[in-house]
A = this chain, B = another copy of it.
Amino acid sequence: MKIALAQLNYHVGNFESNTNKIIASIREAKQNGADLVVFAELCVCGYPARDFLEFNEFISLCDAAAKQIAAECKDIACIIGLPTPNHNSEGKDLNNSAYFIENGEIKAVVNKALLPNYDIFDEYRYFEPSTSFNCIDFKGKRIALTICEDLWNTIENPLYVTRPMDTLIKQNPDVMINIAASPFAYNHDEERIAILSDNARRYNLPLLYVNHVGAQTELIFDGGSLVFDKTGNIADEMPYFKEHTAYYTLDDNGDLTFEHQTTQMTDRESDIEQIHQGLILGIRDYFYKSGFKQAILGLSGGIDSAVVCALAAEALGPENVMAVLLPSKFSSDHSLKDAEDLVANLGCKSETVAIEKITDAFETALHPQFANLPFNIAEENIQSRSRAVLLMAMCNKFGYILLNTSNKSEAAVGYGTLYGDMCGGISVIGDVFKTQVFQLARHLNREREIIPVNTIVKPPSAELRPDQKDTDSLPEYDILDAILVQYIEQRRSSAEIIKQGFEDAVVHKVLRLVNMAEHKRYQTPPILRVSPKAFGMGRRMPIVGKYLT
């Protein structure tokens, strides 16, 4: 039996595009002699469809699309994923389903049993978990079909009390197929491979696994679909961050063979290159799927905006990136020079708009209220917010989307101005710690100098007052980031972090700053997620809560 795995880039709610893509892929697979073509979890509507799923009309559109797809399945079978009504009167209204379609008809329906409801996942919000499990017979083979998380309970201390494969294995399947929607994080590929390999070995079956590729707002799906032999070894690994279809033959011994191995294992990329590729895909899909082409951003001469500008130029083409230099009286000469060098290196568009007369106008207008109170954060933020007003005015006039340039370290400790530098349609590096931003800059420069070296080596500064440095208010970034990783990604207590050798006072200050900044992060743009714990939907914190504040 010849099986095609189709790793495609869907668009949430875009039934026309998703259906056309699936149908084109079915036709191509048929031409290539496949018996079965397998698509990803919830491919019909895209993932995550979120509360669109609560609209009956949306569910009807999924059903209509499935019928259209089924009509194409003559002389080839396919597996698609879609939400379907739960026909029991008790329980949630929907199931997260896979259809096995053969001869134009839905031959079997498999419902997902283990519904992820942590981090960015909300599946229990919509779906009733399945409690019955049956294999599918097709062309003399018996398929154990499961959906993504259904295989994720072989770890220690699993989140679920059931294990669908333990039931399915009793029916003597020949092969496991798992359709998934597993988003990217820089360390997630290793975890995914380990869990899937463990399943293949545990059940002594070959395993075919298909993932989404492409970004849906903040969530980036990295593809990397996988095939395992029954000893748990990786037989094949599909490309990351791009669409791909590959073909596998299941022989009578239950072994998988294939003509072209798509990825050599020695090719596994570094974390920073994975982040790089993920962000490029994230930017590209955000613009493409929202129907925009052109990005704008403020270029300060600092490393954050430089890296975002370089990524945007790579993702969208330099001709589609407008970099705006917005100097104030506190901007240093090197800042302007470094920003100009970057623009020249990238070949993107640029404009310069000085903000001094604007900030003067604000300060004059507020003089009766502020009288002679000393310059403080109020005047600092006026600068940052004036820049945002200028950038947004250019968005409104010319149809750009503003890219936010905040990094994860400053987003964590609230070192940013709400409605100022925290503005934007999408945050590009809001899930990249400052120390990783430096790595990314050096990585972008690996072949030639794109980010000016001076931008990388000079001490970071917001330049909102004379001689300001980030380290005036914050610990050195290597210390700050080491604390933040433990607190945010590993959810360690202050006591546990201090035990690692960090100063008491520094740890307490950092944790307090993080918790005090929830109200700011609540209003920031969606952040491209590249880590296992990004700010946004995956981290839901009280705002007026009083804990570590």
Contact = CB atoms under 8 A, between A and B. Distances in A.
Contacts of A11: 544-546
A172 interface: no
A286 to B, nearest CB: 6
A89 B377 contact: no
Contact of A393 (B91, B358, B382, B493): B382
A345 interface: no
Contacts of A90: 153, 157-158, 160-161
B358 A542 contact: no
A331 to B, nearest CB: 15
Interface in A150-199: 153, 156-161
Interface in A366-391: 366, 368-370, 373, 376-379, 381-382, 385-386, 388-390
Interface in A409-466: 418-419, 423, 425
A24 interface: no
B358 A354 contact: no
Give the most central of A46, A51, A525: most B CB within 10 Å.
A51
Give the most central of A92, A370, A376, A523: most B CB within 10 Å.
A523
- Which 7 A-B residue pairings sit nearest by Cβ, starting from the closest? A13-B547, A57-B493, A378-B396, A361-B361, A12-B545, A14-B546, A378-B397
Nearest to A549: B13
A157 to B, nearest CB: 6
A357 B357 CA distance: 10
Contacts of A286: 544
24 contacts: A12-B542, A13-B542, A49-B545, A52-B547, A55-B493, A57-B494, A58-B547, A117-B117, A216-B544, A217-B542, A289-B544, A351-B368, A357-B365, A358-B362, A362-B389, A362-B393, A370-B393, A370-B397, A376-B397, A378-B397, A382-B393, A388-B419, A522-B526, A523-B524
A56 interface: yes
A54 interface: yes
A430 to B, nearest CB: 13
Contacts of A376: 396-397
Given A425-B519, A522-B525, 18 more contacts: A11-B545, A11-B546, A12-B546, A48-B542, A49-B545, A50-B540, A57-B494, A57-B495, A92-B159, A122-B540, A216-B544, A217-B544, A355-B365, A362-B386, A366-B390, A381-B392, A382-B393, A385-B393
Interface of A: 11-14, 17, 46, 48-52, 54-58, 88-93, 117-118, 122, 124-125, 128, 153, 156-161, 216-217, 285-286, 289-290, 351, 353-355, 357-358, 360-362, 364-366, 368-370, 373, 376-379, 381-382, 385-386, 388-390, 392-394, 396-397, 418-419, 423, 425, 491, 493-495, 519, 522-526, 537, 539-547
